Structure formats: structure tokens, C-alpha cells
Amino acid sequence: MKSIVGSLLLCVTLLASSVLSQTVCPETPVCNEQQTQQLDGSCNNLLHPGWGTANRPYARFVPANYADGIWEPGHTRSGNPLPNARQLSLNLFGETETEHPRNTLVSMQFGQFVAHDLSFTADAGGIQCCADGRRVPRELASARCLPIEVAKDDPVLGMEGIECMNLVRTKTTLEDACASQEGEVAEQLSSVTAFLDLSVVYGNSQEQCNSLRTFEKGLLEVEHRNGKQWLPPHPNRTATCSVQDESESCYLTGDVRSNQSPHLTLIHQAFVLEHNRLARELAELNAGWDDSVLFEQARKINIAQYQRIVYYEWLPIYLGRQNMLETGVLPVLDVRSFARDYNHTVDPAVDNAFATAAFRFFHNLIAGHLDLVAESQQPTGSIRLSDWFNKPSVLEMSDNYESLSRGMIYQPHDCPNNQLTPEVKHYLFRHGGRVGVDLKAIDIQRARDHGLASYNDYREFCGLPRVTSWEELEDLLRPDSARLLSQQYESVDDVDLAVGGALERPYGDGMTGETFSCILLEQFRRTRVSDRFFFENDGQFTARQLLEVRKATMARVLCDNIHGLKEIQEQAFFLVSEENPVVSCEQLPVVNLNRWP
């Protein structure tokens, strides 16, 4: 027998199907080899034009684990409910903030930028499962509701009378006629392209991109205020940002999440301004190029520089360069320095566990307070992160733009461990209230919503031995974690991937554990080898142009696009040290656009 939840889903699905039966789905695109990289991801693969496009299902390295085989979140092997997500967060993950000895906040923030470029779960906005911290009666609640219960004795949220946290289930193939597939198992949809194509800057459709362009000289829209360039205003800022009225800042970019935190907004702005810098320089060098050619060439170079930074400057920090070489994440180059392993049989679709569990490893690195740093590199104060979620107007107050930019460059992120800053464990998106929601609890509940298989199932997929006892976990997990897990779960086979993977000790020369490393390495390999337009593939650039692209660094992008920044450490992802000294921006390598006739 199907559960009540499953029955409700079938009713909702039937209703949705009757409405969507009249939906006109996009036609399969007609491709040709001469096309530039399409904004919606289509035609990257000439044999499979729809691969990598937005609004397609996530991939699955391991089959889904639903209690009813269709959609209902999983249970324990005995059939009981899995442990409460908020209780797991409280009992397994601490709140001690410890500064990383080497890495900057730029590094952590760039990780969120990359994550947003690769995936965005399609959501049904506006549904309330918890209203003002009180659960909506079951008979009135949507079948999409999967709220997180909060105990009365919860040490933070319970003290404020919070009974639950809102969580709405992700849209799936069962509710989207255009994404339908064979079988009845729900597969969640990602609303962005699966490529590292700066869709966060340019959007995921021609229509979205058009709203961001000036259609003059290849430029993207910006506004000039008080001697600085700013991202354009969002046309519906009160619905997008936590603002009181239209006078407060809220920016329009290729991704609606760009306003989530001040540093994320700064990264977005840097890559938008980098596009415009490239377009202006190309226009000076090529007087005959029109707006369309300038835009496409600036976009192509911007994406290439970004891909170079992701694979060669940033990913080795967290996944380990040796790990990346051994698993094919980094290519073996031919004598002309081109990659030769593009594979048209590899679907670039982002794995569900990658997006919903493994890549959320970066949540542990978030710093709760953002330093305001003077030109002397000395902190002059800080702002509380939870005060400014979805409130980017802080950047335009006083000299915060410069101070927060330098803070991002000189402040370390938190250490990768089993600790989360209280700012995201109790106060995430509090919007001026006394408390907010718990990011770790949401991660656990969202993974269950997506039917992710267990930690042990993913170990088996990775070729690792399944764990058969709590004692076996002691050597795999951080100190004391195995004992604490045994107090929360009935069996080692019930442990959530989002929990077990996050508690593992670092693997090889990377920072994540062996299970998360396996998932991350496999996805970033697939993302590269499935991308016909990856910057190192033969035919994308000439050999001389490729040599120039390889000069790109995060430090140079920040130097060129943060107003007033005159010096920076050579490697922006690392703190200042004897090996990584502060230098004048003028001393950093420059990509010479004279190579682009």
C-alpha cells in the first residue's frame, strides 16, 4: 500500500498533468558545429542537443531511495522515521568557529559562486508549511510540505517558540510534462545549465541575458553612482531581497541568489565588470567588431578565464591536485597543450548527491562575521552575517564596499570540520527576527527530499568497503563522531550521506573525506570532459590565445574590478605569507588581448 503522502502526491501529479497536458514544450534545437556556446546550454553536445540544458533532471550516481519507491522520503531499514534533521544538527555538529590557517574568504565565497553556476533546484515558491514558526495544519498544508520539526526544548529556536522550519519539496519530473521520462520515480529538476559557463552572470536563456545587456559595444548593464560601478537594480527588489522599499539596493544578475550575502554579490560584480573590461579592450583593438561579436568574444574569454581559475587555481585546494590528476579531473595535454579527452558520450547533468550533499561541504567554511579591513590591511570592525542576508545595500553604506572587499581578501574562512558558525546554524535568513533557520538541518532534510541513497550506498558506489559496525567508523570519521552517530541512528546502514560524508576525515591531499571526494572528483571530471566548449579543447582558442588565458588568476580579476584596490596577494585564495606576498596590482600577469584579432 502506498502511504498517505504518496497518495497525495499522485493526486497532485494528476492535477498537474491535466494542466500541463496543454503545455507547449520546447522543440529539440537544430545544431551546427559553428555555433557559439548557447546561453541555455543547448547544442553543446551535437548528438544530444538537450544535454546540459536548464530544467533537466539531476543525474544519479546511485539509484534513489524513496520509502514508496516513487517519491516519499526514505525511512530506516526497520521502517521507522529517520532521526530528526534539527536534532542531528544539534547533536553531531558543533558551533565553534576556528580560522583556517591558510585560506581566505574569497576561496569559500568562490565555492558558492561555482555551486550556483552548476545547480539550482527548481522550487515552488510561495508555499508555507510553517507560518511564523507554527506548522500549518496537515489538512491545509500542501503535499509538497516537508517541514523540519523543532523540539520544545531546542536550546535556541525552542526558546523563541519555534515549532518547525519551512521546507518545500523540490519540483520533480512527476510534475513537469516537458521533463517527463520513463518510469514513475521522481527525479528533481535543476533550473540552470550543467556547465561551468558563468550562467550566474549571463543567465540561462536568451531572454534572461537580453535583460542584462546594453546592446551597445558588447557591454552588460551597470549603473554609475558615487564614482563606482554597480550591478543594475532588480525590477522587483521587494520580492527578491529583504528590503523595506524600493530605495534599498537589490541587484539584477544572471542568478537570483546573487544577493544572498555581501561577499557573494562582490564576486558577481567582479565577473560582470570583467566582461565589460574585456569588451572595451576588444573594441579598441578591433574597430570593425559590432555589438554582437564584442559580446560573444568577451563572454567566451570571461568563461575561459573562469574555467582556468576553477580547475587550476581553486579546485586543487579542496580536492587535491594529485587526487585530480589520478581521477582525470585535470587533463593530460598534448604537445600543443590542448586537452584531447572531450567525450560526447558523457552526459554533463549534475549528480543529485553532488548538488544536494557533497558540494555543501562549503557550508562548514562560512565565517559568521565579515571583517571591515582598512587599506593598511588591519581590521577596523566587522558586520554580523545574519544581519545582511539578502540585504546587499550594506555594500553602498559608508566605505563598506572597499572595507568588505579587503576583508574578503585578507580574512580567513573557517576550518573544514564538524562545526558551523551559529550565524547559519540558528540565524540563517532571520530577516530582522531574533532567530532564523538551521542550514545543516535544511541540508539533511533536502537530501531526504531528493531521495539520496545512504552514506553506505555511496561508499559502495565509490569502490569503498561498506561499514558494518559503529567501531569501523572510528577510523573514518572525525574524533567522537562514530559514538555520537550510534546514539542517533538505529543502524550504520541508516546514516544519511549528508551526515556521514560531512563527518569524514580528509582524504589524500584534499580537504573533503573519501566519500565526498569521490563524488566531487567524478562530477568535476564529467563537467569538463562533457563540455565541447571547455577552454582547453582544440578549436576553442589558438595556441597563442590559450597561453594568454592560462595567465588568468583570481587576484587579477579582483584587482581589475574592485574599485580602489591597488594591491593584493599574488594568490587571492590564500592568506598573505612569505610565499604569497602582497604586490601591486600592476605586477600581476595580464591576459594580452592582442592575440584576438
Q: What pLDDT score does 19 carry?
A: 35
Please report the DSSP string for 528-540 in residue order. Answer: HHT-TT-TTBBTT
- CA dist 530 and 518 (Å) reads 18
Q: For the chain, which domains are there?
A: 56-119+180-545 (1.10.640.10), 124-169 (no CATH)
Question: Confidence class of residue 20 from pLDDT cuts 50, 70 and 90?
Answer: very low
pLDDT above 70: residue 141: yes
Q: Does pLDDT of 230 surpass 60?
A: yes
What confidence tier does 1 reach under pLDDT thresholds 50, 70, 90?
A: very low
Distances from the Cα of 269 to the Cαs of 199, 374, 405, 526, in angstroms?
A: 14, 21, 11, 28
What number of other Cβ atoms are within 10 A of residue 258's Cβ? 25
Question: CB burial class (10 A; 0-12, 13-18, 19+) of residue 104?
Answer: buried
What pLDDT does residue 166 have?
94
* Residue numbers belonging to the annotated binding site for heme b: 363
Q: Which of 501, 187, 199, 495 is nearest to 352 (CA)?
A: 187
Closest CA to 53 of 206, 218, 211: 206
pLDDT confidence of 181, banded at 50, 70, 90?
A: low
Calculate Rg over the CA atoms of the chain. Answer: 24
* H/E run at residue 591: none
Whether residue 6 is predicted with pLDDT greater than 50 in this model: the reply is: no
Q: Is the pLDDT of residue 192 over 90?
A: yes
pLDDT confidence of 438, banded at 50, 70, 90?
very high
**Lookup: cell for 585:** 596590482
Taking a C-beta distance cutoff of 8 angstroms, is the pair 455, 488 a contact?
Answer: no
Q: How much is the pLDDT for 244?
A: 84
State the DSSP code for 173.
G
d(CA 203, CA 193): 9
Question: What are the angstrom distances between the C-alpha of 351 and each of 120, 515, 522?
Answer: 12, 14, 9
**Catalytic residue chosen out of the listed positions 75, 100, 116, 344:** 116
- Residue 121 CA to residue 191 CA, distance in Å, equals 6
Helix pair 554-561, 105-118: axis angle to 10 deg: 90
**Which tens digits make up the pLDDT trace of 254-313?**
999 999 999 999 999 999 999 999 999 999 999 999 999 999 999 999 999 999 999 999
Is the pLDDT reported for residue 184 higher than 90?
no
Nearest to 243 by CA among 259, 265, 264, 263: 259
pLDDT at 380 over 50: yes
> pLDDT-derived band of residue 529, with 50, 70 and 90 as boundaries?
very high
User: Are the C-beta atoms of residues 463 and 475 closer than 8 Å to each other?
Assistant: no
Task: Answer whether residue 18 shows pLDDT above 60.
Answer: no
> Binning pLDDT at 50, 70 and 90, where does residue 354 land?
very high
Average pLDDT value for residue range 186-195: 96
Question: What pLDDT score does 178 carry?
Answer: 75
Cβ neighbours of 78 (radius 10 Å): 8
Does position 4 have pLDDT exceeding 70, yes or no?
no
Cell of 272: 560582470
Q: What is the pLDDT of residue 180?
A: 54
Locate cell 576525515: which residue? 505
Torsion of CA 586, 590, 594, 596, to 10 degrees: -150
Per-residue pLDDT reduced to its tens digit, 22-51? 456 777 888 988 788 999 999 999 999 999
Lowest mean pLDDT among 49-53, 126-130, 512-516: 126-130
The stretch 463-486 carries a mean pLDDT of: 96
Q: Catalytic site residue 100?
A: no
Residues 495-515 have pLDDT tens digits of 999 999 999 999 988 899 999
Mean pLDDT of 166-188: 83
Cα(127)–Cα(142) distance, rounded to whole angstroms?
7
| Average pLDDT value over all residues in the chain | 93
**Residues within the annotated binding site?**
363
Which ranges of 256-334 would DSSP assign to H, the alpha helix?
Answer: 262-285, 291-308, 315-319, 321-326
- pTM of the prediction? 0.94
Question: Could you tell me if 553 and 313 are in contact, meaning their C-beta atoms sit under 8 angstroms apart?
Answer: yes
Of the listed ranges 27-36, 156-165, 210-219, 379-388, the one predicted with least confidence: 27-36
Contact 505, 482 (CB under 8 A): no
pLDDT at 234: 96
H or E stretch at 443: helix 439-449
Interacting residues of 480 by C-beta distance below 8 A, sequence separation 6+? none
